[in-house]
């Protein structure tokens, strides 16, 4: 029996990487998907895959930094599918990761914050409005860099903010009797385009192969993650299997933070 039959999930940044994998695995368990991305053609590609596999999904262009677009996306979700049961706040950028702190322009700092943290706040806010009577699960994609330092001031601060925002939302919903759970996922290094692109900022690393080898050494499990490693965590938090979890951190990092 499908774990998410009859439920609707909204995934931001669903056109590639973790968002694409999460959208596909949620749809595979019976959820209707609203896949959003600033690149609508990428979101549509994910939708096409879901539909080819017999699932139900729509794509929407979505700049997560704009409040009015959040409202429109959630209202479209409710109009098309009748409910919003799962929100995956996945969209994110690496931004200034790798730059010396002294060289980071404030505008670049704000850009990272607007996508990685402000947008998660707006998503949580809209989800609470939509879910507070019917219930649901909010899943915020943070990072191991929301727990430990090392990725650059803006990225670390934004992902650390997501970690505590998640706990605040969980407590708020519980204290107000809203049947909404809110948890964060903290991936280790997942071999996605965003990770591969940091090769230009890592000293003494000249190729993707060298970057991959260096990162593997930091994960005791002996490999980097793949998107499905995180998507399986998203499915767990979206399903009733995690019904006693809220305000929690699901660390999926191959042992990175254990060292």
- Looking up residue 231, the CATH number of its domain turns out to be 3.40.50.720
* pLDDT given at position 61: 98
For residue 201, being part of any structural domain is answered with: no
d(CA 258, CA 128): 34
For residue 207, being part of any structural domain is answered with: no
d(CA 240, CA 3): 8
* pLDDT given at position 117: 98
For residue 103, being part of any structural domain is answered with: yes
Contacts of 183 (CB under 8 A, 6+ apart): 137, 138, 139, 140, 166, 170, 237, 242, 245, 246, 247, 248, 249, 250
For residue 118, being part of any structural domain is answered with: yes
* pLDDT given at position 94: 85
- Among 49, 58, 53, CA closest to 77: 58
Question: What are the two backbone dihedrals, phi and then psi, of residue 17, each rounded to the nearest 5 degrees?
Answer: 55, -135
Give the mean pLDDT of the chain.
Answer: 93
User: Residue 58's beta-bridge partner residues?
Assistant: 34
pLDDT (mean) for 199-220: 77
- 172 as an active site residue: the answer is no
Give yes or no for a contact between 145 and 156, defined as CB atoms under 8 angstroms apart.
Answer: yes
* pLDDT given at position 203: 60
Give yes or no for a contact between 37 and 22, defined as CB atoms under 8 angstroms apart.
Answer: no
- Among 224, 22, 56, CA closest to 137: 22
For residue 78, being part of any structural domain is answered with: yes
For residue 114, being part of any structural domain is answered with: yes
Pick the more confident residue, 136 or 206.
136
Exactly one of 155, 178, 189, 256 is catalytic; which is it?
A: 155
For residue 162, being part of any structural domain is answered with: yes
| Structural element, H or E, at residue 9 | strand 8-11
For residue 172, being part of any structural domain is answered with: yes
Overall number of domains in the chain? 1
| Global pTM value | 0.94
pLDDT (mean) for 86-115: 88
* pLDDT given at position 19: 98
Q: 145-184 as b/e, with b when 16 or more CB fall inside 10 Å? A: bbbeeebbbbbbbbbbbbbebbbebbeebeeeebebbbbb
* pLDDT given at position 123: 98
- Among 98, 201, 205, 211, CA closest to 152: 98
Give yes or no for a contact between 43 and 36, defined as CB atoms under 8 angstroms apart.
Answer: yes
d(CA 174, CA 207): 48
d(CA 54, CA 46): 13
- Please give the residue range of the domain that contains residue 98: 8-191+226-258
* pLDDT given at position 98: 62
* pLDDT given at position 192: 76
- Percent of the chain, pLDDT > 70? 93
- Hey, what are 64's tokens? 């997560």
d(CA 43, CA 154): 27
* pLDDT given at position 93: 92
pLDDT (mean) for 24-41: 98
d(CA 219, CA 73): 37
Give yes or no for a contact between 148 and 159, defined as CB atoms under 8 angstroms apart.
Answer: no
Task: Say if residue 1's pLDDT is above 90.
Answer: no
């Amino acid at each position: 029996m499908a774990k998410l039959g009859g439920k609707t999930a909204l995934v931001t940044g669903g056109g590639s990487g973790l968002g694409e994998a999460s959208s596909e695995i949620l749809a595979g368990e019976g959820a209707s998907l609203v896949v959003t991305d600033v690149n609508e053609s990428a979101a549509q590609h994910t939708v096409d895959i879901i539909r080819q596999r017999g699932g139900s999904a729509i794509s929407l262009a979505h700049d997560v930094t704009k409040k009015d677009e959040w409202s429109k996306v959630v209202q479209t979700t409710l109009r098309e599918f009748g409910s919003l049961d799962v929100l995956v706040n996945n969209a994110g950028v690496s931004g200034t990761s790798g730059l010396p702190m002294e060289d980071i322009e404030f505008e670049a700092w704000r850009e990272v914050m607007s996508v990685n943290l402000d947008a998660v706040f707006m998503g949580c806010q809209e989800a609470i409005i939509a879910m507070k009577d019917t219930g649901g699960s909010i899943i915020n994609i943070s990072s191991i860099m929301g727990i430990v330092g090392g990725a650059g001031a803006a990225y670390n601060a934004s992902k650390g903010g997501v970690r505590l925002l998640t706990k605040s939302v969980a407590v708020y919903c519980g204290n107000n009797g809203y049947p909404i759970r809110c948890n964060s996922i903290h991936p280790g290094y997942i071999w996605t385009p965003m990770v591969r692109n940091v090769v230009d900022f890592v000293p003494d690393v000249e190729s993707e192969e060298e970057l991959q080898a260096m990162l593997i050494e930091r994960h005791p499990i002996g490999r980097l993650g793949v998107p499905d490693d995180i998507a399986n965590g998203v499915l767990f938090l979206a399903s009733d299997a995690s019904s006693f979890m809220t305000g929690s951190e699901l660390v999926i990092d191959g042992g990175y933070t254990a060292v």
